[in-house]
């Protein structure tokens, strides 16, 4: 329903534009000051804990691209029209285990220095395995490759990735997503807020005006069976939209899209399900007709779902909980398709 309405609106807009051209109206100059921004957050499958190259040297993602007849060069060399800055770590091991693009390790806040780069493989922030860290990737890659041609080098789309492996809404052992304390040892929302502002300010320092178009979320493995997951999610999204409304279109918080994804449903392999409560909540929020900017990717194995698979080490699924290499790429692609199909990008 949402997509249909937006397509009809787009058709009307195109028709209007054609009439204006036929009447000799001048074509508007492209906007060279504003850039679209999307924030990616959640836990390890958003953080990026899938191999693009196995520790044994097997080039898993390159092999997948070749099988599918896709050009691997852009994701290896960097997609210049979509830039990513990322921060995150496996928080149950403590702040000292942080994995970040910044060399500064003096404190959690000091490590939050923005570092926007053309999006490419190796931007996962997953655990170091066999002494190697830059062998991971997350949804940013499939997302960037999907929207690359709809952006430009002059006005690149900016992705801010701030996610924490092992995090949850209800975890008592340290930080979680429900806390709003101004204390980085307790509140993941505080870390997300701080890093997002840092990145937005860094964009502004380049002379561009950041416009926050969407909040992309992938989390739930730690809370899969929690009956309150829907309430937790609504509170988080509401807080995020309210916090960053000054960066939204027309400074309207409701114009910041929320794009979620179901977690692994336990079907298709022998692995157990994480529970259905979180997925039911995700699909409910994402399909609400009264909110045209709430979306949810159905990654489940049911008819119409993507059927994404996890945990096969030979296929890139590092340990039990993380997407296999083709599936992590498909996840990012699905985020990108929602962005494109619902006109969430400015004209390049």
Question: Roughly how many angstroms between the first and final C-alpha of the chain, as a whole number?
Answer: 27
Strands 34-42 and 209-218: parallel
Q: Poorest-confidence range of 39-48, 161-170, 226-235, 272-281?
A: 272-281
The DSSP 8-state label assigned to residue 25 in this structure reads P
Beta strands, E only, the chain: 34-42, 50-51, 79-90, 99-100, 117-119, 136-137, 157-165, 209-218, 257-261, 294-297
pLDDT tens for each residue of 213-233:
999 999 988 888 888 999 999
Token digits of residue 275: 């529970």
CA 82/CA 76 separation, integer angstroms:
14
- Distance between CA atoms of residues 44 and 88, nearest Å: 9
pLDDT tens-digit readout, 61-79: 999 999 999 999 999 999 9
User: How is the chain split into domains, by residue range?
Assistant: 35-341
Q: Which residue has the higher pLDDT, 105 or 180?
A: 180
Structure tokens at 241: 């939209």
Q: What's the confidence (pLDDT) of residue 29? A: 46
The domain made up of 35-341 has a fold known as Rossmann fold (3.40.50)
Q: How many residues does the chain have?
A: 348
């Amino acid at each position: 329903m949402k997509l249909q309405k937006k397509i009809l609106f787009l058709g009307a807009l195109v028709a209007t534009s054609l009439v204006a051209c036929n009447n000799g109206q001048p074509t508007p100059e492209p906007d060279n000051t504003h850039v679209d921004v999307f924030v990616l957050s959640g836990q390890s499958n958003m953080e990026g804990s899938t191999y693009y190259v196995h520790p044994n040297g097997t080039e898993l993602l390159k092999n997948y691209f070749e099988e599918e007849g896709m050009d691997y060069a852009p994701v290896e060399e960097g997609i210049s029209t979509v830039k990513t800055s990322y921060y995150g770590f496996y928080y149950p091991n403590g702040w000292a285990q942080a994995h970040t693009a910044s060399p500064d390790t003096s404190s959690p806040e000091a490590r939050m220095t923005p570092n926007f780069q053309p999006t490419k493989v190796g931007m996962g922030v997953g655990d170091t395995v066999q002494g190697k860290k830059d062998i991971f990737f997350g949804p940013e890659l499939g997302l960037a490759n999907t929207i690359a041609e709809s952006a430009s080098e002059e006005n690149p789309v900016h992705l801010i990735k701030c996610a924490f492996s092992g995090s949850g809404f209800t975890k008592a052992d340290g930080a979680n997503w429900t806390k709003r304390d101004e204390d980085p040892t307790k509140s993941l929302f505080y870390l997300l807020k701080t890093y997002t502002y840092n990145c937005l300010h860094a964009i502004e320092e380049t002379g561009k005006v950041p416009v926050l178009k969407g909040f992309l979320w992938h989390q739930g493995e730690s809370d899969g069976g929690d009956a309150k997951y829907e309430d937790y999610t609504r509170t988080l999204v509401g807080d995020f939209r309210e916090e960053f409304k000054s960066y939204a279109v027309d400074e309207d918080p409701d114009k910041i899209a929320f794009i979620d994804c179901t977690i692994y449903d336990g079907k298709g392999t022998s692995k157990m399900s994480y529970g259905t409560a979180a997925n039911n909540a995700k699909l409910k929020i994402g399909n609400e007709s009264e909110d045209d900017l709430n979306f949810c990717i159905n990654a489940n194995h049911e008819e119409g779902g993507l059927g994404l698979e996890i945990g096969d080490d030979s296929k890139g699924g590092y340990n039990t909980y993380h997407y296999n290499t083709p599936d992590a790429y498909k996840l990012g692609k699905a985020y990108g398709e929602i962005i494109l199909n619902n006109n969430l990008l400015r004209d390049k």
